[in-house]
Amino acid sequence: MPIIPIPCQEIVLRAILRRGWVDENARITAHAFIRWPKDNDGLSVNLRSKTDVESWLSSFKKSYGAASLHCGRIRDLGLGLDVVQMEADEQPEHAVITGLPYQDDDPYGAERLASELVKIARVFDTTKRTKNQYQ
Amino acid sequence: MSTATMGPAVSGIPRGKGPRTGGSGPLLAEKTVLAAHTELEPPFPGVDVLSSQGSLADSLQGTWEQPCRSAAASEPLTSRDYAATVQLITELGREDEEEDRPSEFALGRTLSVLEQAARELRLSFPLAIVAVGPHRSLRLLWSSEGREVRLVVGGSTANKTYLYWEGPGQRCVDYSVDGARLASLLRWTLHGI
């Protein structure tokens, strides 16, 4: 599948979809960067520059905010991670972090890379939202 | 099987700093005298976590509320953070959507490991950050002073169950998961020993 690299200066947002993905002091935990089976192409993120954050985070059943990551810093980790868009993706704001293994396939790799992403992640938003809460 | 070569030493439990992520901290100041129990009891008496019928979370309702106590010592034998951790896990078991709930297998195995660890750590058992993971696994995390340990219990026997820990210049995956190993890693996380 053709992919489009995301420029290094871009900021991507990772939605915090579960309570344990942040700690009680609003710090991002490694749980937030574990790849799920539905993450076929990679860890799902949104481009900050193209995202209406309020609308995006309110579209999930529950969300607890978002973490931000600088694409250049992800690449600078030198651990085989990249940030790309799939050409076939119909959502122009959507991208994926590639290079993360599944925890069942490679626990060491999955946990280590999650730790590295935690180190460069910043808390972007910590508002708890539920889907259609404003309707 | 271990991925790295170094590991934390197994030793006693010195008093020290609580975990950064650990809520009220590992030490319990409560001094209430109770005469009901003479030894540490399992946290869920009468519940066979691997074979019980119906919702395990429902079976566990209410059982986390009190730390285990000893009449002989006149002090609780397990920390409030242990009870709070079990509560968090129990709450996850009540989530509406199946994919948001840990499997019965993950719940049972996790609670068994935690109970063993709590028997060893007693008042030092720290609060975990708990989340459901892929394939309805359970993921628990403890962090302090640049050290971190994660317990990942797969959603079924087909999924991986492991302990992962990392500190300055070292990290490891350990597939030998039991309460004693977790207790050892939690001592290392909390106290660096």
Q: What is the pLDDT of residues B142-182, one digit of tens each?
A: 999 999 999 999 999 999 999 999 999 999 999 999 999 99
State pTM to two decimals. Answer: 0.79
Which residues, 6 or more positions from B106, have their beta carbon under 8 angstroms from its beta carbon?
Answer: B136, B137, B138, B153, B154, B155
Q: Which residue of A has its CA nearest to B161?
A: A104
> What pLDDT shows up at residue B33?
26
Q: How many domains does chain A have?
A: 1
Domain for residue A48, yes or no? yes
Best probe of the B interface among A16, A17, A28, A31, by most B CBs < 10 A, is A31
**CA gap B124, B16 in Å, rounded:** 9
Lowest-pLDDT range of A25-29, A74-78, B46-50, B174-178: B46-50
* Residue A43, min C-alpha distance to chain B (Å): 13
Q: Look up the ipTM and state it.
A: 0.93
Look at residue A2 in the predicted model and tell me its pLDDT. Answer: 79
* A134 inside domain: no
Residue A23 lies in a domain: yes
| CB contacts, 8 Å: A61 with chain B | 97
Identify which has the larger pLDDT, A130 or A33.
A33
Q: Is residue A135 part of a domain?
A: no
- Min mean pLDDT across A105-119, B10-24, B27-41 is at B27-41
| B77 Cβ contact list (under 8 Å, min separation 6) | B40, B67, B68, B69, B70, B122, B123
Residue A9 counted as domain residue: yes
Assess A119–B contact: CB distance below 8 Å, yes or no: no
Which range marks the domain in which residue A26 is found? 3-129
Choosing among B2, B149, B152, which should be mutated to test the A contact, i.e. which has the most A CBs within 10 A?
Answer: B152
Mean pLDDT of chain B: 74
Share of chain A above pLDDT 70, in %: 96
Among chain B residues, the shortest Cα distance to A38 is held by B134
- Which amino acid, one-letter code, is at B136? R
* pLDDT bracket for residue A132 (50, 70, 90): low
pLDDT of B24 above 70: no
C-alpha to C-alpha distance for B52 and A116, rounded to whole angstroms: 40
- What are the boundaries of each domain within chain B? 56-191
Where do we find the tokens 């996790």? B110
